[in-house]
Chain A
Amino acid sequence: QLQLQESGPGLVKASQTLSLTCTVSGGSISSVTYYWSWIRQPAGKGLEWIGRVYPTGTTNYNPSLKSRVTISVDTSKNQFSLRLSSVTAADTAVYYCASSWELPNYFDYWGQGKLVSVSS
């Protein structure tokens, strides 16, 4: 059974960089045919896809965040990571990592989510 777990600081100061890591267990991050994504959800609001990374390191990003986002993969650690620069209060959200393990472009496995708050 594939499992994903987000980790990283729960509080980030405005204008700084948010950094989160997703650790994958129960499967190899290198072996998936598809990809690994980050998705976020502000409190009481809907889901926003941030971007994806393939095991090769190829990435795609949501155009609304593209200038500030970097997603990378570390196959040796079975992890992938999110960096979001120049954060503001609007970036306060629960951040989920998710995989498209069996179905292309759908999210069939999710982490439990990591609340990140941006302070002024």
Chain B
Amino acid sequence: EIVLTQSPATLSLSPGERATLSCRASQSVDRYLGWYQQRPGQAPRLLIYDASNRATGIPARFSGSGSGTDFTLTISSLEPEDFAVYYCQQRSNWPLLSFGGGTRVDMK
């Protein structure tokens, strides 16, 4: 089983600031990692797939990087609607999939 560990658990920032979220895998997942955003009361939304590809309709302020075991989601300038919880998910260990525990981005 591949375990994904996200850090920090909570990130307190102001609108306009840069957010950097981390996801670390217990073993290499190559580049097979995605990121989701979940706003309160909503289903998750796919942001990034295969480490660095933005999903359809995702703004350019969201970017992903990394490979192997260490990955980063960056939000270049936080908009009010970006304050949410973010999850990473690996698809390397097919057929089994797993999610990280999440990072909450709070407004300072």
Contacts and interface: CB of A to CB of B under 8 A. Distances in A.
Interface of A: 37, 46-49, 52, 60, 62-63, 96, 98, 102-108, 110-113
A47 B87 contact: yes
Contacts of A49: 96-99
Nearest to B93: A105
B96 A63 contact: yes
B16 to A, nearest CB: 28
Contacts of B46: 103, 106-108
A110 B89 CA distance: 15
B87 A46 contact: yes
Contacts of A103: 46, 49, 55
Given A46-B99, A106-B34, A112 B49 contact: no
Contacts of B36: 47, 107
B93 to A, nearest CB: 10
A52 B32 CA distance: 18
25 contacts: A46-B100, A46-B102, A47-B87, A47-B89, A47-B102, A48-B99, A49-B96, A49-B97, A49-B99, A60-B96, A63-B1, A96-B44, A103-B49, A103-B55, A105-B91, A105-B94, A106-B89, A106-B91, A107-B36, A107-B44, A108-B46, A108-B56, A110-B43, A112-B42, A113-B43
Interface string B11-48: 00000000000000000000010101000001111100
A52 B98 CA distance: 13
A87 to B, nearest CB: 21
B44 A60 contact: no
B95 interface: yes
B95 A52 contact: yes
Contacts of B100: 46
A105 B1 CA distance: 16
Contacts of B89: 47, 106-107
Nearest to B32: A105
A102 B32 CA distance: 15
A57 B27 CA distance: 31
